[in-house]
Amino acid sequence: MDEVWILVKCICGNSFGSRKASFSSCPRCGSSKGKTQRELQSPESLAEAVAASNLPSQISQEIESRIAAEQSRRATTREKVRGGPEAIHRIMRQSTGSDGRLSIKKLSSELEKEGYTEPSAEQAIGQAEMEGILYRADSESWYWL
């Protein structure tokens, strides 16, 4: 049987947590007069709810905006990492001219536009060359096989 935890808001303004079936009093003022705000399913989620409830609103807003910015940054990074070889291959195809040639200059430009710093154009072409996907036309360009 799972325990249910409750978030309680005391008359003094402090929030605290308790098991649903137990008697509890505010750790700050000792009052047992409080209102149940929410029911939670784990002590971990209760701890997070208590911490968030007791945080001043200005600090809470600042933390939320920082968390959102960090999540956005991580999502962008994950997208680029997640794209991996498939994304690099797509960019290489986009960089190929109408004559079928792929140049380091054009690939570098496309990688930069897409926001990739790794791999470099030279690394991407070198890897494709080793895999037998490209062959060298001259010192600055390659053809697809």
DSSP state of 145: -
Q: Which of 15-19, 28-32, 116-120 has the lowest mean pLDDT?
A: 116-120
Which residues form the domain of 73?
A: 59-144
Give the model's pLDDT for residue 106. Answer: 92
- % of the chain at pLDDT higher than 90: 33
The rounded distance, in Å, linking the Cα atoms of 85 and 119 is 10
Co-location of 89 and 105 in the same domain:
yes
Q: Look up the CATH number of the domain holding residue 88.
A: 1.10.10
Please state the domain count of the chain.
2
Co-location of 42 and 101 in the same domain:
no
- Distant-in-sequence, close-in-space partners of 139: CB < 8 Å, separation ≥ 6: none
Contact indicator for 5, 20 with CB cutoff of 8 Å: yes
Give pLDDT tens digits for 23-78.
Answer: 889 999 999 888 999 999 999 999 999 998 999 888 888 888 898 888 888 776 65
